[in-house]
Amino acid sequence: MSKEIKKVLLAMGNEAKKSSQKLALASAEQKNKSLHYMADNIDQNVSNILDANNKDIARAKENNISQSFLDRLILNEERIKSMSDGLRSIASLEDPIGQKMAKWQRPNGLDIERVRTPLGVIGVIYESRPNVTADAGALCIKAGNAVILRGGSESHHSSNAIYDFLKEGLIQADLPEFSIQIIPTVDRSAVGYLLSGLESTVDVVVPRGGKSLVERVQNEAKVPVFGHLEGICHLYIDKDADIEKAKDITINAKMRRTGICGAAETLLIDEAKASLLLPELNKVLKNSGCEVRGCERSMGIVGDIIPATKSDWDTEYLDSIISVKIVEGINGAIDHINKHSTNHTDSIVTENTETAEIFLKEIDSAIVMHNTSTQFADGGEFGMGAEIGIATGRFHARGPVGVEQLTTFKYVVRGSGQTRS
């Protein structure tokens, strides 16, 4: 990494740290006002954002990227409207900063409160999704944090166009303009320096992207990380499933958007009803353009299924491909998921509530579901306004990382002259 890049990044870290100290004291009204300004700026500049996005799309096509990758990159009027709506939705959420999480009094008269506070400065590293620029920036501001964004080279023009309108919103609301910053270079060495913590100015890093990116972040980061490696999401169709629900949920979970981490990658079917369920599910999947790979038992029921290999059960396709396995009821489904899970999102389709409760209790993923599509694994769908990502670890944040997950807390102790013996 050149000395010039290092100098620029260190300056960004120092500005972010100073901005975070001011943001921590900003009122909810002022933060919300900035988010509304940002949303208005985006709505008023749709053509500019689309022009920037077209540059990224043209370059991506020249590089022959996959269709699923292109889907994550593409913006249109609907997606941009969703972006600005998300900003307004975040503004409507209750401000977490200063919330009293707990309060008690000790026998000696000390009053103790646990109070929500910002994390400080957050580094967000992402790849092809330009909308993350708006989501991450807004969530961090709402939670009183400064943020340094590092978008992927493939979305460079789109992310920078969106960033310009976020920064303008900060200035309009009289908040520190360096509360949101975006790393200006696509040089990969900049990621390494951000992961080092920029000389203790960055408090947390959140990666949002593919396995190689997240692995690099988790291996190299010298600051705490919220992240997940893969979204190998499972959909289990139980013997007591309603077949029409099963078909609708299967198609949505796999094919609504194949390139997102909440897309189902493995379909598990109860052996007790496999001969009835599999032909129907295979038909709707094939008709929607999905390649179906299956175990030997599934191939014995439906002849046109492609043989699955051992690696299929551990693959996040992010494409129109699904692996199918026949399992021995709920216990077989749980055993398979526990063996191959990435602890992201898993769902059961059944009308038997007792079976559903067993699944929800015994599957230890960040998100477990009953009778619904795994594609609801999304902070916006959870009422969080948006999300920076889905955390699958066990510390601090798990599941959608929204406003509340971007805070920490401190203890406030009030006395009346007590001393300790």
Query: Do residue 215 and residue 100 come from a single domain?
Result: yes
Q: Cα separation of 204 and 44, whole Å?
A: 33
Cα–Cα distance measured from residue 17 to residue 261, given in angstroms and rounded to the nearest whole number: 32
pLDDT of residue 66: 80
Same domain for 44 and 186? Answer: yes
Both 69 and 165 in one domain: the answer is yes
**pLDDT for res 419:** 95
Same structural domain for residues 206 and 92?
yes
Do 9 and 122 sit in the same domain of this protein? Answer: yes
What pTM does this model have? Answer: 0.88
Find how far residue 90's CA is from the centre of its chain: 15
Q: Which residue has the tokens 């029921």?
A: 301
* DSSP strands (E only) in 91-201: 100-105, 111-118, 121-126, 146-150, 180-182
Does residue 380 contact residue 89 with C-beta atoms inside 8 Å? yes
Q: With respect to residue 421, please indicate whether it lies within any of the assigned structural domains.
A: no
User: Do residue 266 and residue 323 come from a single domain?
Assistant: yes
364 & 249 share domain: yes
CB hemisphere CA count around 243 (13 angstroms): 12
Number of domains in the chain: 2
Q: Are residues 248 and 222 in the same domain?
A: no
Residue 409 near residue 101, CB atoms below 8 Å: yes
* Shared-domain flag, residues 259 and 276: yes
Domain that holds residue 66: 3-226+401-414
135/22 same-domain check: yes
pLDDT digits (tens), the chain, 421 positions: 688 889 999 999 999 999 999 999 999 999 999 999 999 999 999 999 999 999 999 999 998 888 878 888 999 999 999 999 999 999 999 999 999 999 999 999 999 999 999 999 999 999 888 999 999 999 999 999 999 999 988 999 999 999 999 999 999 999 999 999 999 988 888 999 999 999 999 999 999 877 788 889 889 999 999 877 689 999 999 999 999 999 999 999 999 999 888 999 999 999 999 999 999 999 999 999 999 999 999 999 998 999 999 999 999 998 999 999 999 999 999 999 999 999 999 999 999 999 999 999 999 999 999 999 999 999 889 988 788 888 888 778 889 899 999 999 999 999 999 999 9
DSSP output for 288-345? TT-EEEE-HHHHHH-TTPEEPPGGGGG----SSEEEEEEESHHHHHHHHHHHH--SSE
Which CATH number goes with the domain that contains 269? Answer: 3.40.309.10
Domain identity same for 151 and 24: yes
Question: What was the pLDDT predicted at 277?
Answer: 96
Specify whether 70 is located in the same domain as 148: yes
279 domain-assigned: yes
Predicted local confidence at residue 1, as pLDDT? 60
